[in-house]
Amino acid sequence: MTQADDHHSVPEDAKRPDIMADIYAEDGSIRSDFLAMVGAAIGDRDVLFLRQNVARLHESELGDLLESILPEQRHAMVRLLGSDFDMTALTEVDEAIRLDIVEQMPNDQIAAGIGEMDSDDAVYILEDMDREDREDILAQMPFTERVRLLRALDYPESSAGRRMQTEFVAVPPFWTVGQTIDYMREEEELPESFSQIFVVDPTFKLVGALDLDRLLRSKRQVKIETIMHETNHPIAAEMDQEEAAQLFEQYDLLSAAVVDDNGRLVGVLTIDDVVDVMQEEAEEDLLRLGGVGDEELSDSIAVTSRSRVPWLAVNLITAFMAASVIGLFDATIEQIVALAILMPIVAGMGGNAGSQTMTVSVRALATKNLDIHNASRIIRREAGVGLLNGALFGCAIGVIAGLWFNDVNLGGIIATAMLINMFAAALAGIIIPLLLDKFGADPAVSSAVFVTAVTDIVGFFSFLGLATWWFGISG
Amino acid sequence: MTQADDHHSVPEDAKRPDIMADIYAEDGSIRSDFLAMVGAAIGDRDVLFLRQNVARLHESELGDLLESILPEQRHAMVRLLGSDFDMTALTEVDEAIRLDIVEQMPNDQIAAGIGEMDSDDAVYILEDMDREDREDILAQMPFTERVRLLRALDYPESSAGRRMQTEFVAVPPFWTVGQTIDYMREEEELPESFSQIFVVDPTFKLVGALDLDRLLRSKRQVKIETIMHETNHPIAAEMDQEEAAQLFEQYDLLSAAVVDDNGRLVGVLTIDDVVDVMQEEAEEDLLRLGGVGDEELSDSIAVTSRSRVPWLAVNLITAFMAASVIGLFDATIEQIVALAILMPIVAGMGGNAGSQTMTVSVRALATKNLDIHNASRIIRREAGVGLLNGALFGCAIGVIAGLWFNDVNLGGIIATAMLINMFAAALAGIIIPLLLDKFGADPAVSSAVFVTAVTDIVGFFSFLGLATWWFGISG
Question: pLDDT-based confidence at B239, cuts 50/70/90?
Answer: very high
Angle separating helix axes A95-104 and A59-68, nearest 10 degrees: 90
Q: What is the pLDDT of residue B371?
A: 79
Mean pLDDT throughout B47-55?
91
pLDDT in tens, B359-386: 889 888 887 778 777 888 889 999 999 9
pLDDT attached to residue A20: 61
Q: In whole angstroms, what is the distance from residue A377 CA to residue B297 CA?
A: 10
B288 or B394: which leads in pLDDT: B394
pLDDT at A11: 39
Residues of B in contact with A379 (CB under 8 A): none
**If you measure CA to CA, which chain B residue comes closest to A204?**
B7
Chain B within 8 Å of A10 (Cβ-Cβ)? no
Strand order in the sheet with A235-236: A235-236, A255-259, A265-270
pLDDT of residue A4: 36
- pLDDT over threshold 80, residue B98: yes
Banded model confidence at residue B74, pLDDT cuts 50, 70, 90: very high
Sign of CA dihedral B92, B97, B101, B107: positive
Residue B80 has pLDDT above 80, yes or no: yes
Pick among B10, B13, B304 to test the A interface (most A CBs inside 10 A): B304
- Indicate the pLDDT class of residue B95, thresholds 50, 70 and 90: confident
Cα(A271)–Cα(B253) distance, integer angstroms: 10
**List of chain A residues whose C-beta atoms are within 8 Å of the C-beta of residue B6:** 173, 207-208, 225, 230
Instruction: State the first-to-last Cα distance of chain A, in angstroms, to the nearest integer.
Output: 93
Cβ contacts from A onto B, under 8 A: 376
* Helix H or strand E segment including A231: none
Whether the model clears a pTM of 0.80, i.e. scores above it, the answer is no
Question: Taking a contact as any Cβ pair under 8 Å apart, which residues of chain A between 292 and 331 contact chain B?
Answer: 292, 295, 297, 299-302, 304-305, 308-309, 311-312, 315-316, 319-320, 322-324, 326-327, 330
Give the Cα separation of A154 and A140 in Å (integer). Answer: 19
Least confident of A400-414, B20-34, B68-82: B20-34
Across the interface, do B181 and A278 touch by the CB < 8 Å criterion?
A: no
On whether the CB atoms of residues A323 and A347 are closer than 8 A, the answer is no
* Residues contacting B227, CB < 8 A, separation 6+: B177, B210, B214, B215, B218
**Residue A99 vs residues A94, A95, A174, A296, B90: alpha-carbon distances, Å:** 9, 6, 47, 13, 46
Q: Is B410 exposed, middle or buried (0-12, 13-18, 19+ CB in 10 A)?
A: buried
Q: What is the ipTM of this complex?
A: 0.76
Tell me if B389 and A308 make a contact (CB, 8 A cut-off): yes
**Whether residue B100 has pLDDT greater than 70:** yes
Please give the share of chain B, as a percent, with pLDDT higher than 70.
Answer: 95
Low-confidence stretches of chain A (pLDDT beneath 70): 1-21, 474-475
Strand-strand pairing, B235-236 and A265-270: unpaired
Summarised one tens digit per residue, pLDDT across range B130-180 is 889 999 999 999 898 898 899 899 999 889 999 999 889 999 999 999 999
Average the pLDDT over B55-71 and give the result.
Answer: 90
Instruction: List the single residue in B7, B30, B315 with the smallest CB-CB distance to A263.
Output: B7
List beta partners, residue B197: B210
Q: Does residue B14 carry a pLDDT above 50?
A: no
Closest to B28 (Cβ–Cβ): which among A61, A371, A393? Answer: A371
The amino acid present at A283, given as its one-letter code, is E
Q: How many CA atoms lie within 13 A of B439 on its CB side?
A: 9
- Domains of chain B and any CATH numbers: 32-154 (1.25.60.10), 170-290 (3.10.580.10), 302-471 (1.10.357.20)
Which residues in chain B are contacts of A184 at CB distance < 8 A?
213, 216-217
Query: Do the Cβ atoms of B169 and B267 come closer than 8 Å?
Result: no
Angstrom distances, CA of residue B232 to CA of A70, A113, A263, B242, B250 = 29, 26, 40, 18, 12
